């Protein structure tokens, strides 16, 4: 695994921007201090890999800033994007021997990294963290199941509208009563892969939404949701 920029945590967990949403949210000050002692801060460039599918599960991490993708590869080498990871999300497989997916930064990202063995030991000794980890895992499983059901029932317009609303919400910029603008961390081909559509269909739907005033496309990798309420209706 190539070296990545790494440093000791220079600020305490209590001042972290995602502190109240992360898995460490329920820890007391003493526990936070101990966790702070085993954590490292890493900065990832866009396109940089942090975990590899099938490799030994060496690290776990909290995402502080940025967007990353989880992916797997078929026997013929084709990539399948399994999901996206946003600030406050947790990466890695605690108590596991191998990584079930690869993790790559789609944007510049900042993560708080722990050696898996250190984190496993800490979790066993601090039930509040272990409980929060289980709670977060079950919530993510529920989210994934709901998304699978929705994708199976939606038409192309509903899928694209839902994807844009979900991304805005997870990036923390969603607003029902006014326009919001954000950078798309995925290419149109990657969006198509996530939604089970062709790139041509994704492009047609984005153009249609733009022409009908629901969104603007300032550039190929930016989107403005001009009317989030209208997108809610289109998403069904």
Q: Where are the domains of the chain?
A: 6-136, 154-235
* Mean pLDDT, range 228-235, rounded to an integer: 91
User: What count of other Cβ atoms lies within 10 Å of the Cβ of residue 191?
Assistant: 23
Identify which of 105, 96, 21, 122 has the alpha carbon closest to the alpha carbon of residue 68. Answer: 105
Identify which of 66, 19, 53, 69 has the alpha carbon closest to the alpha carbon of residue 39. Answer: 19
Query: Half-sphere exposure of 72 toward its Cβ, with a 13 Å CA cutoff?
Result: 8
Residue 9 predicted with pLDDT over 60: no
Phi/psi region, residue 95 (left: phi>0; alpha: psi -120 to 50; beta: rest), is left
Q: To the nearest whole number, what is the mean pLDDT of the chain?
A: 85
Report the C-alpha gap between 93 and 115 in whole angstroms: 11
Strand-pairing partners, residue 182, are 223
pLDDT band for position 176 (cuts 50, 70, 90):
low
Domains 6-136 and 154-235 share a fold: no
Superfamily of domain 6-136: Jelly Rolls (2.60.120.10)
Model pLDDT for residues 186-219, shown as the tens digit of each residue: 889 989 988 889 999 999 999 999 999 999 999 8
* CB distance 86 to 63 below 8 Å: yes
Report the C-alpha gap between 234 and 217 in whole angstroms: 18
Angle at 82 between CA 80 and CA 84, to 5 degrees: 125
- Domain covering 154-235 assigned CATH 3.90.550.10 in the classification: no
Residue of 137 and 49 predicted with greater confidence: 49
The predicted pLDDT at position 74 comes to 82
The predicted pLDDT at position 2 comes to 44
């Amino acid at each position: 695994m190539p070296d990545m920029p790494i440093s000791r945590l220079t600020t305490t967990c209590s001042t972290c921007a995602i502190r109240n949403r992360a898995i460490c949210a329920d820890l007391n000050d003493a526990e936070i201090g101990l966790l702070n002692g085993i954590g490292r801060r890493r900065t990832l460039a866009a396109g940089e890999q942090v975990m590899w599918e099938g490799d030994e599960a060496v690290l776990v991490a909290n995402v502080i800033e940025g967007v990353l993708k989880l992916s797997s590869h078929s026997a013929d080498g084709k990539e399948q994007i399994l999901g996206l990871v946003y600030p406050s999300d947790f990466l890695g497989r605690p108590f596991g021997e191998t990584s079930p997916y690869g993790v790559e930064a789609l944007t510049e990202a900042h993560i708080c990294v722990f050696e898996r063995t250190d984190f496993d030991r800490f979790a066993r000794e601090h039930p509040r963290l272990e409980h929060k980890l289980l709670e977060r895992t079950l919530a993510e499983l529920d989210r994934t199941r709901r998304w699978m059901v929705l994708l199976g029932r939606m038409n192309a317009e509903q899928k694209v509208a839902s994807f844009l609303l979900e991304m805005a919400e997870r990036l923390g910029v969603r607003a029902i009563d006014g326009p919001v603008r954000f950078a798309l961390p995925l290419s149109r081909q990657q969006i198509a892969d996530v939604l089970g559509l062709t790139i041509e269909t994704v492009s047609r739907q984005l153009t249609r939404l733009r022409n009908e005033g629901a969104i603007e496309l300032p550039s190929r990798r930016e989107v403005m949701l001009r009317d989030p309420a209208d997108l809610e209706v289109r998403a069904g």
